[in-house]
Structures are given as C-alpha cells and as structure tokens.
Amino acid sequence: MISETDRFNVSHPNLCSALRWKGQFIQAEPDPTVPSMSDRIFWCIYTQTCIGPDGKIAEPKNCSSTRRTCHGTGKCG
C-alpha cells in the first residue's frame, strides 16, 4: 500500500511539468499553525481533467514515472 505522503508528494524530482494543482496558484507562505487545506485535486494541462492523455490518473505518484507514455509530452502511446 502506498502512503498518502508518497502518493501526493509534489516535490518529486521527476514530476511531470504538465501536472497542475491548486496549491501552485496560491501566493502565500505556508503557515504551520494552520491545518493544511490541500484538497488533493490534480489535473493534466493537456486533458484539463484528472485523467492524463494515457488514460491514467493524474496525480504526483503516477506523474513522476518517466515510463509513463505521456510524461511531459502530452502524447499518448
């Protein structure tokens, strides 16, 4: 079983540049006194949905695999 920390790690060095999430657009410094409001909603810029061009879920764990056919290209197959 994959931990949520690993599954949603947006700091992975191989993270696809096409993956987007709400936290990218918030211009505030993290405040450790406030509980995280991360909704963990991710989308691919090529499909504009939570499914990538290859038909798989767009989330950090999946989008960190350079073996994924669409990784950084928007191409499928």
Mapped onto helix, strand or coil, the DSSP state of residue 22 is helix
Query: What is the pTM for the complete model shown?
Result: 0.78
In one-letter notation, the amino acid at residue 58 is A
Q: How far apart are the first and last CA of the chain?
A: 27
Contacts of 49 (CB under 8 A, 6+ apart): 43, 58
Of residues 2 and 19, more confidently modeled: 19
3-class DSSP assignment, residue 42: strand
Residue 54 is predicted with a pLDDT of 92
Bridge partners, 44 (sequence order): 19
Which amino acid is it at 75?
Answer: K
Q: pLDDT of 23-54, one tens digit each?
A: 787 777 777 887 665 668 899 999 999 999 99
Give the model's pLDDT for residue 74: 66
